[in-house]
Structure 1
C-alpha cells in the first residue's frame, strides 16, 4: 500500500493527478458538475444529439418493444433484430458491405487489431494513435513498429523492408491534436505494399464528409482502399457503442475471432434502435455541421488573436498548447472560476511537455457561448507568461516522442 500512496503523491506534485467530476442532468453545453453550473467545452457530443428530443423519444418507444438489457452475448442469444438493423444501417451509411457492433470503441480496437494480427505479423501504428489502438497492438502479440505522426514516407520505408502479413492502423481524426490523418496517401502505400489498412474514425464519424459519413468518405475512399473502418457511437452519434465496417469476409472473420465481441453482452437493443434514429439525424445534419464549422473557424481566428498557441486543426477539436502541467491546470481552474469547463490534458494522454487545454465544440453551442469562452480566455491571458517557450518545447517533443500512451 505504501508504494501506491507514494506514487499517488508523486502524481499530485507533478500536476498529473486526475479526479472525476459528477455531472447531474443531461449532457449539454450548460451542465451541472459537482453542483456547479458550468458552460462546457470539453464534450465529444459534436452534433448535440446526446440530449436531442427525438433521440430520447426513439429510445422511450423502443424500450416498450425490446425491454432493457441485452442479456447475453451476440453468439448466445443476445443478437436482437434491433442490432441487425443497426449493423445494416451502419454498413449502408459508411458505404461498406457489412458491419459488426461492439460495446465500446476501446473494445472495438482491442478486438479488431488482436484478431487481424498475431505472432509473426507486423503492425505499423502512428505514434499518436489512441491508447485503445496501442493496447490492441500489444494484445495482438505481433511485432509493433511506430511511424512518426502522419509521416507516410517513413511508413513506406518500413513497409518496404518488412515481409509477411502487415497491418497499418491509424486514427482518422486524432483525438488530442484534432488533425486528420493523410488517409489517401496511407491507402496508396498500403495497396502498393500489400498491407491491410485499419482506420479508427471515432472523431470523424458524424462530423466530416458528405452527410457526416466520416473522414474516409470525405476523401471518397472505397472499401477496397480502406478495408477496415472503425467508428464509435458515443460521440457525434450521441448514444453508445461502436462498430467496425468492411468486406463481409472480414466481418465474418472478426465475428469468429474478436474476443471483445465474442465474450461480452450485447448492447441494449433499445439503444440500437435509438442509434438508428440518430443516423437519420446525422444524415440530415448539414446545418448542424455548418454551424459547428462556423464556431471552429471563429474560435481559431479570435483565440489566435489573443495570443494563444493553437494546433493546425480544422475539426471541432481545438487544443490550446501550454506545455507545463501546472500552468495548464492553473488556466483550466481560472476558466472554471468564470463558469467555463475546459479540461486540462496532461501526460501520459499527451507527450511530455505538450500539456494543453482541449477545447471541443458542439453544434449545441451558440455564438454567445463562444463569446463567453473567448472573454474568459482574454481575462486569463496573464496566466501564460511563458507561452512561447512552452510552444517551442511542445514542437520539439512532437518530433522526438516515440512511446506516448495517447488516449
Structure 2
C-alpha cells in the first residue's frame, strides 16, 4: 500500500532537484520597490486612479459580489454594458463576460468543438490545452505556427465539424499567429477559427483592438475570440466575442459560464473604464509595443537570445531551469522583477526570462533594466 503524502513528498523532491519547484512570493503594493517587468499590466493601468474610482463606484452601487451565476442573479446592467462596449470596441457582433479568461477558453472550446475535431497549436496556453482535453473532441496538436499541418488535419478529418484554435500572441515567445492564413484554411474546410486575444487586446492593432481586428477579420462570423480583462485592461475576468449563435450556444451549454458565479461588479467597472481609456488614448498600445521593441533591442545588443516581439512579451532564452531562476533572482537584487518560465510552461532546454513591457516605463527604468541584464550576461559568461 502506498502512502499518499510520501508519494507527494517524493515528487516534490524530484521537482526540487530538477529546478522546477515553485513558490508563492507575496509582494507589496509597489512591487517591493522593483521595476515591474513580470506582470501583464501592459498599459500601466492597474493603479490608474480612473480605474480605481470606477471599481469603487461599481462596488458602492452593486455591492462586493455579483451574488450568483450569470443565469440567476449574477448578470447586472453593468455586465450588459461591458459586453456591449467590448463587442463595439473589438468590432465583434456580440460579447459574453466570464469571471476569468481561463473559463472563457474552457467554455468556448468545449461547447463549440464537442463531438468534432479540434486543431490546436503546440504553443497554445494551458487553458486551451485543458479545454481541448475536456472537449470530448478528437484533438490534433500541430507544430507551432504550421499552417500546412493545420490544413492537412482539416482536410483529412472524418468529423462533420472542426475548430482551429490558436493564441493570437503566444504567451511565452511573444510571437504572432498567422491569422490570415489560418482563417483561409478554416474557411476552405468549413471550420471555425477560435483566437485567444489575451496578449494582443490592448496592445495590437488600432487603439489596441486586437490581432483579429488588425488582420481585417473582426466582422467575419466564422471567427470566435476570447479575451482576458486582467492584462491590458488591468482588471479581472474574461469574455468570448463572436456571432450571436456562438454567444447563445455558450449561454445554453458552456459549463464554465452556467455553473460559475458572475464577475464581481468592481472588476466590471474597472474594465469598462479601461476600454474607455483605450478609446480616448489610442497612443497607449503603441507605447507598450514600442517599449517591448526597445527591451528586445537591449537584450540583443547584450548578446542574449530573444525574438522580435509582436506585442508586449519579450522572452530571453537561457536554457536550463536553474539558469533562469538564478537570472531572475539576480535581476530582483538589481531592482527589476522579471518573469521566469521553466518546464512545463516551456519545452526542456528553453527555460527563459520573460520581460513584459509597459506603456509607462521611462528612460530611468531602462537604465536600471540594462544594468540588470548586463549582470545576467556577465554571470552567464562566467559560469
Question: Normalising to structure 1: TM-score of the pair?
Answer: 0.90
> SS in structure 1 opposite 2:97?
strand
Shift of 1:112: 1.1
Distance 1:289 1:63 in 2: 28
Shift of 1:382: 2.2
Distance 1:68 1:197 in 2: 36
Query: Is the Cα–Cα contact under 8 Å of residues 191 and 225 in structure 1 kept in the other structure?
Result: no
Query: Is the Cα–Cα contact under 8 Å of residues 318 and 359 in structure 1 kept in the other structure?
Result: yes
Distance 1:273 1:336 in 2: 33
Distance 1:107 1:216 in 2: 21
Shift of 1:313: 2.2
Where do 1:349-388 residues align within 5 Å?
Answer: 349-385=345-381
Where do 1:295-306 residues align within 5 Å?
Answer: 295-306=291-302
- Comparing 142-151 and 55-64, the one that deviates more: 55-64
Match of 2:146 in 1: 151
Q: Is residue 10 of structure 2 the alignment partner of residue 6 of structure 1?
A: yes
Query: Is the Cα–Cα contact under 8 Å of residues 183 and 216 in structure 1 kept in the other structure?
Result: yes
The unaligned stretches of length 5 or more in structure 2 are: none
Q: Is residue 19 of structure 2 the alignment partner of residue 15 of structure 1?
A: yes
* RMSD after superposition: 1.5
Match of 2:235 in 1: 239
Deviations 1:46-90 (A, max 9, x none): 001111111111122222221121001111122111111111111
- Residue from 89, 100, 106 that aligns with 2:102: 106
Query: Is the Cα–Cα contact under 8 Å of residues 187 and 225 in structure 1 kept in the other structure?
Result: no
Query: Is the Cα–Cα contact under 8 Å of residues 289 and 357 in structure 2 kept in the other structure?
Result: no
Deviations 1:310-362 (A, max 9, x none): 02323210000111111111111111221221132100001111100001111
Match of 1:122 in 2: 117
Distance 1:179 1:200 in 2: 13
Number of residue pairs the alignment of both structures matches: 378
Where do 1:307-318 residues align within 5 Å?
Answer: 307-318=303-314
Shift of 1:134: 0.5
Match of 2:31 in 1: 31
Distance 1:185 1:380 in 2: 38
Deviations 1:106-125 (A, max 9, x none): 11111111111223x11000
Match of 1:392 in 2: none
- Comparing 223-232 and 65-74, the one that deviates more: 223-232
The unaligned stretches of length 5 or more in structure 1 are: 388-407
Match of 2:91 in 1: 95
> SS in structure 2 opposite 1:101?
strand
Match of 1:69 in 2: 65
Match of 1:41 in 2: 37
Query: Is the Cα–Cα contact under 8 Å of residues 295 and 367 in structure 1 kept in the other structure?
Result: no
Shift of 1:182: 0.3
Shift of 1:270: 3.5
Distance 1:295 1:367 in 2: 10
Where do 1:381-400 residues align within 5 Å?
Answer: 381-385=377-381
Distance 1:284 1:59 in 2: 19
Shift of 1:226: 4.8
CA 1:222 to 1:292, structure 2 compared with 1: closer, same or farther past 3 Å? closer
Deviation above 3 Å: which 4+ runs of structure 1? none
Shift of 1:289: 2.3
Q: Is residue 89 of structure 2 the alignment partner of residue 86 of structure 1?
A: no
Shift of 1:367: 2.1
> SS in structure 2 opposite 1:40?
strand
Query: Is the Cα–Cα contact under 8 Å of residues 173 and 180 in structure 1 kept in the other structure?
Result: yes
Where do 1:49-64 residues align within 5 Å?
Answer: 49-64=45-60
Where do 1:246-285 residues align within 5 Å?
Answer: 246-285=242-281
Q: Is residue 162 of structure 2 the alignment partner of residue 171 of structure 1?
A: no
Match of 2:130 in 1: 135
Distance 1:65 1:42 in 2: 33
